Amino acid sequence: MKNERVVFHGTLKQLFGKVERGDMIPKLQASHAPPCKFWTAFMVINGIRHTVPVIHGPTGCTYSVASAYKLRGCEYRGTPLEPTTCTSLEETNIIYGGEGKLLQAIKEADRKYHPDLIAVLSCCCSGIIGDDVETIARKSEADINAKVIAIRSEGFGGDFRSGFEDAFKAIIDLMEPPTKKMEKTINILGARIGPTYTEWVDDLDEIRRLVYAIGGKINAIIAGGCTVQQIRKAREVELNASWCYDWGQKIGQLIEEKFGVPYSNTGQPYGLKATEEWIMGVAQPLGLKNKAEQVIHNETRKVMDDVNCMRQALSGKTAIIEITEFPGPIRALSLARMAEEFGAYPIIVNIHPYTIKERMPSIKFLLEQGQNPEIILTKGLFSLGTFRSSRDTEEELESIASNYDNAIYLGNPERYPNIPVVNLTTRTGYPHYGYRGIKNMANLFRSAIKHSSRSRSKLYKRVLYG
């Protein structure tokens, strides 16, 4: 494509190679920046029930994460919103150190809330002055009832991905030697969901449904609302699987290397083929192949009308999948595979080179599985701002869409390409995973095709993009 707005046009494999060789390294961490290490570590800890985070830093960091993840509702599935505490570091503590204040805060959190686990998270202030949060965490356990872990999560100490991974490593240290083996039982890895979720719980519900349908059981969804006791027993399962290959991969491989619990390398179950692969990736190691084949046959039969609808909606079309706030990069690749399965030619727009760099093992796995869609990167991707409010990326998307006949757009409904728009973010469209996902996705495609001729609000577009 000859377009002055396009800075890269090729395949995923070609982009991967450029990033791997250092030919395309962004100057900024990411133009449309992800959260810092502190935020992402908190996301994981937020997914363990009856856990109190003690944030060793000023009140601003605490308010930010608590307002984002805990103050948007009253409870999550019967679990009351749990506290987020803070050492409230001030100027004096920055000069003389805050370790004593941290020790007091841990004891107070134990006395007030009686949690199963206290997780100390450092942030930039405590990281800069070098407070030894690990030693304080170990020392505090002598005087309280809760287990205490410490995660060095100061924002400058790593990128967003290291926050997730360091938190998952700390969780692994809670896993105790097995006293028995739980037959036909798995852990689901890589979730980051607490009393208020940061991912769509509906997809986890569909995974849970399919595991039970084939005769399997689940010990824990780590860390998607699991308990400390479930984490302690995590080594007793026969298999670990992921709900998102990217986020489950690291912890799954670490547990396999450290404890010998096998990990099922399966991607996200979008569409028929990927769903079948996910089910069989769990069923075969558990000795449930025959039951799984029966479930796949019965479930596929139930959704054939929806499968035919998606084939009709996608066959012969160009499926333009843009990475905005949703879907993220791995989901976009899963959507591209699904679109191709149902007869479309997928093109992914604006998968940031930083994203490739931070997800290299996952991207490499997907390439090895044969996923190599066409990729387009635009100039607007490398500008400061957010995807949703970026006039540059909106205009670039419209320009790209105009080059294709019979195209369809999958992504954010706040985009205005002159083609049918599949709204992937509508709350009624979940889950996306599995067989229920196929039914929901078919409904989204039906709506997109049905309403494609309806005019969209020019005023709203001006509000969004100026």
pLDDT tens readout for residues 105-121: 999 999 999 999 999 99
> Region 167-180: what's the mean pLDDT?
95
- CATH number of this structure's domain 185-301: 3.40.50.1980
> 38-47, 131-140, 213-222, 250-259: which range is least confident on average?
38-47
The CB density around residue 298, as the number of other CB atoms within 10 Å, is 11
pLDDT of residue 1: 60
* Portions of the chain given CATH number 3.40.50.1980: 37-158, 185-301
Could you tell me the pLDDT band of residue 77, with boundaries at 50, 70 and 90?
Answer: very low
Q: Does domain 37-158 have CATH number 3.40.50.1980?
A: yes
**134 — pLDDT class (breaks 50, 70, 90):** very high
Confidence of residue 73 (pLDDT cuts 50, 70, 90): very low
Q: Residues 161-166: what's their mean pLDDT?
A: 89
Q: Over the stretch 355-370, which tens digit does the pLDDT of each residue have?
A: 888 888 889 988 998 9
Question: Residue 153: exposed, middle, or buried by beta-carbon count in 10 A (0-12, 13-18, 19+)?
Answer: buried
For 20-60, the pLDDT digits (tens) are: 999 987 665 554 557 889 988 998 998 899 999 999 999 88
Query: To the nearest whole number, what is the mean pLDDT of the chain?
Result: 89
Q: Is the pLDDT of residue 432 over 80?
A: yes
In three state form, how does the secondary structure of the chain look? CCCCCEEEEEEHHHHHHHHHHCCCCCCCCCCCCCCCHHHHHHHHHCCECCEEEEEECCHHHHHHHHHHHCCCCCEECCEECCCCEECCCCHHHHHHCCHHHHHHHHHHHHHHHCCCEEEEEECHHHHHHCCCHHHHHHHHCCCCCCEEEEECCCHHHCCHHHHHHHHHHHHHCCCCCCCCCCCCEEEEEEEEECCCECCCHHHHHHHHHHHHHCCCEEEEEEEECECHHHHHCHHHCCEEEECCHHHHHHHHHHHHHHHCCCECCCCCCCHHHHHHHHHHHHHHHHCCHHHHHHHHHHHHHHCHHHHHHHHHHHCCCEEEEECCCCCCHHHHHHHHHHHHHCCCEEEEECCCHHHHHHCHHHHHHHHHCCCCCEEEEEHHHHCCCCCCCCHHHHHHHHHHHCCCCCEEEEECCCCCCCCCEEECCCHHHCCCCHHHHHHHHHHHHHHHHHCCCCCCCHHHHHHHHC
pLDDT at 236 over 60: yes
Beta-carbon contacts of residue 27 (< 8 Å; ≥ 6 apart): none
* Per-residue pLDDT band at 321 (split at 50, 70, 90): very high
Whether residue 150 is predicted with pLDDT greater than 70 in this model: the reply is: yes
- Asked if 269 contacts 278 with a C-beta cutoff of 8 angstroms, the reply is yes
Is residue 220 within 8 Å of residue 211, measured between CB atoms?
no
| Residue reference for tokens 């494999």 | 13
Give the residue-averaged pLDDT of 319-348.
92
| Site of tokens 């070609």 | 14
Structure tokens at 307: 């499968």
Q: Which of 9-18, 87-96, 193-202, 407-416 has the lowest mean pLDDT?
A: 193-202
Q: Could you tell me the strand order of the sheet in which 239-242 lies?
A: 217-224, 185-193, 239-242
Percent of the chain with pLDDT over 90: 65
Q: What is the pLDDT of residue 75?
A: 47
Structure tokens at 120: 């100390």
pLDDT score for 389? 57
- pTM summary value: 0.91
pLDDT in tens, 189-233: 988 766 555 556 889 999 999 999 999 999 999 988 899 999 999
Which CATH code is given to the segment(s) 6-30+304-465? Answer: 3.40.50
pLDDT computed for residue 323 by the predictor: 86
> How large is the average pLDDT for residues 337-349?
97
Of the candidate ranges 216-220, 239-243, 293-297, 362-366, the one whose mean pLDDT is the lowest: 362-366
User: Once rounded to an integer, what is the mean pLDDT over residues 138-157?
Assistant: 94
Q: What is the tens place of the pLDDT at every residue in 376-421?
A: 999 888 876 665 557 888 999 999 999 999 999 999 888 999 999 9
Share of the chain above pLDDT 70, in %: 91
